[in-house]
Chain A
């Protein structure tokens, strides 16, 4: 059959343009990676990981306190978000057809789209305003709130992938629903759930906006819940908008550490995901 030339050419052009769109999107990706790696490697040294920030004007120093601070904030966020997220996810997968479950699912998706800065204001009102002090707790709460919807939805999806015959088997053997869910279903889905949690961690580790006025910043080592704490992202921001070359250098180093962290997690999660997919398809 003959398709008139004009239509065929138009089709070819559009197909070409779609391919071009992919290439165009890869340009900024490559550029960002190129600069972060180039500038970051030039500035990254051992002191960056082990030293404290130097006073303004003095060269050198590092972000040891900020790296520790980010780690500390992530731990607080996990303590807040993992139990809530996983159990809510169990509910959604066990009673997914209830109207309330649809509401929860919808709210979780909507919560996911709430700007992180707004979550920051919320945590500020909750944990900073009453005591008039910035604190690690407030920052951790803000990050935790952001993790909850992600963990809830991934847990639900992964539990839904476990064959329901497992649940039915457990119930037939006389297990309670709680036993069937937490003793059989959750362990079966555990690798995936953990990967989902890792992805959520990778995402919040790069957040800056919700920390600006919750955990604020701190020039010193701190592990106290009720004191301001430094974080890698806020430190990068502070240095990036400062007028000092040496601080810019350190900001790039910080960006490299962040990107390396996020990238590693994403690749790792991708590998685990593919393995799980293959496993479940059989």
Chain B
């Protein structure tokens, strides 16, 4: 015989809601905690150097001079170059897998491209040191002289440097951009393509219509890749040369924010040194936070309205859970 809910049961339900809600709150607290902890441990450097920290270019821990501009430069440069290299390929993959691929190829190809995201960063780095860097060095040695006169390709052929870092970053970023862009394209209503075909469009023109419809989401996918590239640490630090000097040359050894933290953190022997490194971490955190938040909003704006319940996969693949 069903009884009306007792007050005891209602109290139980309340407790359940608050109890599970507390654990959900922990996720929010975690992010706030990261911000607070990083700020707290970098106060020395923030107070001492102020904005000059980010404007000056000399990084000399022994002399107590800390200018972080070269790291910002290296981070943005490498991430930007990686995006330029990876975006056409990632979008091509997304279009192929969502619009063109024959059915029997779709699943294995999706799995393979997503496997790129499953390879640990350290393995990319190891491969970078022993396989990619020698290749890049060969490429640099054989660059024609007229090209070497351009600032973009100037400098000795070291192998390690911006070019190797950008290439490895591009490979690492492809699966993230392509899997999100694929989700976005999948979320575009079929009527968009059908309408295009009905008007006599070719395949490519119909795809263009779909891309136009999902363009905010695709922007989001590219930004997500950019955020990934900015935060990538191990593979970059192993091939970029770790030289804090600003240069426009792709052949020059440079440095990034994440790499300098990885390299020098355990060597930081003074409080101010440690604080300076943590301040770099704080800014890295804030940059990725903003980029991620923006890209999420862009992606959500497209995928949320889509009714893709039937085709939605049960488990997100490695890339999505990581994205």
Contact = CB atoms under 8 A, between A and B. Distances in A.
Contact of A87 (B23, B228, B238): B23
A68 interface: no
A29 interface: yes
A18 B33 contact: no
Interface stretch (B51-59, B66-74, B106-114): B106-114
Interface in B121-172: 121-127, 129-131, 171
Interface in A1-15: 1, 3, 7-8, 10-11, 14-15
Given A109-B296, A237-B125, A240-B129, A277 B314 contact: yes
Contacts of A277: 313-314
B213 interface: no
8 contacts: A31-B131, A108-B27, A114-B231, A117-B284, A195-B315, A202-B318, A203-B318, A213-B266
Nearest to A126: B37
Interface string A2-40: 010001101100110111111011101101100110010
Given A32-B123, A35-B127, A196-B315, 13 more contacts: A15-B203, A21-B89, A22-B109, A24-B89, A25-B174, A29-B113, A94-B17, A117-B262, A178-B13, A181-B20, A203-B321, A263-B115, A266-B318
A177 B15 CA distance: 10
Interface residues of B, number: 98
Given A110-B292, A117-B231, A207 B96 contact: no
B118 interface: yes
Q: Please tell me the size bucket of the interface on A.
A: 35 or more
A111 B231 contact: no
SS class, residues of chain B in contact with chain A:
helix
Contacts, number: 313
B231 A118 contact: yes
A164 interface: no
A44 interface: no
B219 interface: no
Interface of A: 1, 3, 7-8, 10-11, 14-15, 17-22, 24-26, 28-29, 31-32, 35-36, 39, 83-84, 87-88, 90-92, 94-95, 100-101, 103-104, 106-119, 121-122, 124-126, 129, 145, 148-150, 152-154, 157-158, 161, 172, 174, 176-178, 181, 192, 195-196, 199-200, 202-203, 205-209, 212-213, 216, 233, 236-237, 240-241, 248, 251-252, 255, 258-259, 262-263, 266, 269-270, 272-273, 276-277, 280-281
